[in-house]
Structure 1
Amino acid sequence: MTDCRSRLLVIPTVLLLASGCGSSGSTIENRQPDPEEEVADSGGVGEVAELPEPDIGPELPPVELPHEVAEETGGPACAPGEGCFLDSCDENAACQSGWCVDHMGAGVCTIACEEDCPPGWSCQQVGSGPDVTYVCIANHANLCRPCGSGDNCKSPGGAEDVCVDYGAEGSFCGGVCETDEDCPWGFSCVDGLTVDGIATRQCVADAGVCPCTKKSIELALWTPCARANEWGECTGQRICTQEGLSACDAAEPMPETCNGLDDDCDGQIDEPEQVEGEYVSLCFDGNPCTKDQCGGADGCSNAPMDQGECIV
């Protein structure tokens, strides 16, 4: 009868079962077992001796997966210009997330979220009904956008953003802040005034003026502006165009003259001058025997008077 024996060999990383059977009684083995690892042979079923913990070496660092397999590990692969996060957009369909949102006055693609978002963004609910989802919304959606009132600056991520007075340059949307760290690069957290003259603390552009974004140009957004001198202050507008923010179209304040215009921009047209507490017609020629009148766009008239001392 053919004799058959089996040995169970244990090596640090692989369990190798080597067995030999044959009429010659030869056994095929890959290496000599350690005596402490010997399987006890009782002529029946063997019992495996207690083994030491294998040494698997130090823990390896995580492997950085290639860009192409990102879809398998949490999101679709995305190259710039393909609707990635912060790519420029005009509509939701242009974004891989399906959401185009405002960021610093421009339309950009955002990303879906559960809780966390990149710095300067917050995870908020969008949509309604069965289409409710959560995406990252910019904290400063309208920052640096031309504005004429605080309503132009409110956003889901910036309910306390206001329209900040930049002086002669115009007015632009700010962003609520406490310190400079709350503002994006190129902005500082400063105390200032809203266009309504209310004290506020907002992110303001270090350049002292804001450029026009593509969206601002398409919407022809504008900001009030003014020119002032010793004669008064005149207001106008600066509009976002393909060439950038236009120059202020406000008139230069001038002394009031009889021309049918509000030359000094005080809200009155051709009003008389006040001299030594008395109002004097703009058309006064110094002759007591003429009737001086302002005819608006037709100018002054100084008609001779033929009564009293003026009769020749």
Structure 2
Amino acid sequence: CQNECGEGVEYCIGSQWQACTAARVREERCGNGVDEDCDGTIDEGCDGCTDGATRECRSECGQGTERCSGATWRDCDAREPADEVCDGQDNDCDGLTDEDFPALGAACEDGDGPCQVAGTRVCAPDGVGTVCDAVAGAGDAETCNGVYDDCDGQTDEDLPGV
């Protein structure tokens, strides 16, 4: 014979089958850490909630909502801490934003000479670092002045007599 708690034996005594020797399914007793009803879940139903009910719940990152299922509160949807990424959010819930990226907001530049443009270090698109938001200028037509006006790194090239 078998029930939720396992297998047992039935004995035939006096032409009558006797009760199965498998452990009896009992009602769950709360707070003792034992699975009395042999369903694989310890102390389920001990919260006494009604299936489908919701309530507020919290994590290190803030507030969320959890739902009652099987007379137990489950699945709090409050955000959990994650690794910090550069995205303007406090991913690890420590009260600081993008603190793992000390270069964020620092001055930077792109280009050389007359093509140099100032900028600021911002979060990279993939969130794993920072990039300079400056974009080097396009330059001007080359003139005979000892400067690489067209931003190609060469000075006064393509001019007659140079």
**TM, length-normalised to structure 1:** 0.21
Q: Quick check: which one's strand share is greater?
A: 1
**TM, length-normalised to structure 2:** 0.34
Which of 1 and 2 has higher RCO (CA within 8 Å, sep 6+)? 2
Q: Quick check: which one's helix share is greater?
A: 1
